[in-house]
């Protein structure tokens, strides 16, 4: 089984900086980590490889510093790593990012399953996995909490819902995004760390992927960031220790005051 897992390097939540001119996150020179949700996708890919054999390819898009994140996935069990790095990719929204990843996957060709984390902690859109599947025109399932089986070119999964889970079966190749309930990511092994140092990093740009400049980066992004800022934190509150019926009346009156 050949698996492709897409990861993202994100700013550490304690180190977020904003460019006042472009209203976008400053990534250069900022301490970064692998998007936490993506670690569950990497772990699930490694478990599937251990069960079915094959290989895992990890892909990420970003500046050269993303190499560190990709090598961390090798230490966990990934076989090949691909970095999409080109200034023309800068400013990509979820649409342009999905297109770039999809075109890369087309170039790779032989794959059975695409794995993504539920969402990225810097954007929280949860759109890229579904977007890649749409560009590739393959089945996709989001919020997967468990993979039950893979056989006869079909995958049976459990999709997390608010009141339980759905049990679904889709044909391969397919794309799935996973939630943290699916597993516990392993720590890198010593052998994995050694492999991470010597694994060849494949770096690709827009020309390698035959992408038109009007379809990528800011030019190819139908959504634009108008403003980004850190919200003010308010800690005002009131505490009541009253019988339930009185609390309900107070709560109701508060809502009326707020006009809700």
* Residue 95, CA atoms < 13 Å, CB-side half-sphere: 10
pLDDT (0 to 100) of residue 54:
94
**38-53 residues labelled b (16+ CB within 10 A) or e (exposed):** bbbbbbbbbebbeeee
Contacts of 147 (CB under 8 A, 6+ apart): 44, 48, 155, 156, 157, 158, 176, 182
- Residue 17 pLDDT: 65
CATH number of 2-225: 3.40.50.620
Read off the pLDDT of residues 109-142 as tens digits, 9 standing for 90 and up: 899 999 999 998 887 788 999 999 999 999 999 9
Task: List pLDDT tens digits, range 1-29.
Answer: 999 999 999 887 665 666 666 666 666 66
Question: Please, what is the average pLDDT of the chain?
Answer: 90
Cα dihedral sign, 186-191-193-197: negative
As a whole number, mean pLDDT of residues 56-69 equals 94
Cis peptide before 37 (omega within 30 of 0): no
* Both structure tokens of 120: 């990225």
Q: Is the dihedral of CA 196, 197, 198, 204 positive or negative?
A: positive
Please state whether the predicted TM-score (pTM) of the whole model is above 0.75.
Answer: yes
Give the 3-state secondary structure of the chain. Answer: CEEEEECCEEECCCCCCECCCCCCECCCCCCEEECHHHHHHHHHHHHHHHHHCCEEEEEEECCHHHHHHHHHHHHHCCCEEEEECCHHHCCCCHHHHHHHHHHHHHHHCCCCEEEEECCCCCCCCCCHHHHHHHHHCCCEEEEEEEEEEEECCEEEEEEEECCEEEEEEEECCEEEEECHHHCCCCCCCHHHHHHHHHCCEEEECCCCCCCCHHHCCCCCCCCCCCCCCCCCCCCCCCCCCCCHHHHHHHHHHHHHHHCC
Domain ranges across the chain:
2-225
When pLDDT is averaged across residues 229-233 and rounded to a whole number, the result is: 71
Give percent above pLDDT 90 in the chain: 65
Range with lowest mean pLDDT among 13-22, 37-46, 226-235, 249-258: 13-22
User: How confident is the model over 198-211, as a mean pLDDT?
Assistant: 94
């Amino acid at each position: 089984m050949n698996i492709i897992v897409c990861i993202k390097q994100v700013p550490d939540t304690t180190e977020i900086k904003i460019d006042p001119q472009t209203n976008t996150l400053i990534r250069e020179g900022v301490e970064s980590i692998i998007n936490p949700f993506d670690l569950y996708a990497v772990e699930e890919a490694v478990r599937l490889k251990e069960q079915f054999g094959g290989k895992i390819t990890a892909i990420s898009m970003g500046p050269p510093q993303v190499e560190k994140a990709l090598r961390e996935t090798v230490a966990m069990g990934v076989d090949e790593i691909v970095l999409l790095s080109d200034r023309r990719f800068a400013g990509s929204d979820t649409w342009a990012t999905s297109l770039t990843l999809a075109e890369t996957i087309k170039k790779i060709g032989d794959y059975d399953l695409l794995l993504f984390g539920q969402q990225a902690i810097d954007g929280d859109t949860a759109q890229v996995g579904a977007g890649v599947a749409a560009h590739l025109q393959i089945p996709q399932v989001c919020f997967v909490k468990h993979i039950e089986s893979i056989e006869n070119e079909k995958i049976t999964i459990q999709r997390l819902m608010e009141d339980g889970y759905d049990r679904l079966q889709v044909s391969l190749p397919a794309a799935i995004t996973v939630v943290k309930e699916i597993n516990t990511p392993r720590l890198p092994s010593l052998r994995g760390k050694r492999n991470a140092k010597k694994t060849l990093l494949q770096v690709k740009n827009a020309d390698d992927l035959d992408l038109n400049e009007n379809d990528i980066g800011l030019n190819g992004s139908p959504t634009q960031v108008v403003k980004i800022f850190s919200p003010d934190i308010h800690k005002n509150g009131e505490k009541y220790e009253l019988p339930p019926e009185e609390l309900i009346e107070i709560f109701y009156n508060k809502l009326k005051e707020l006009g809700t």
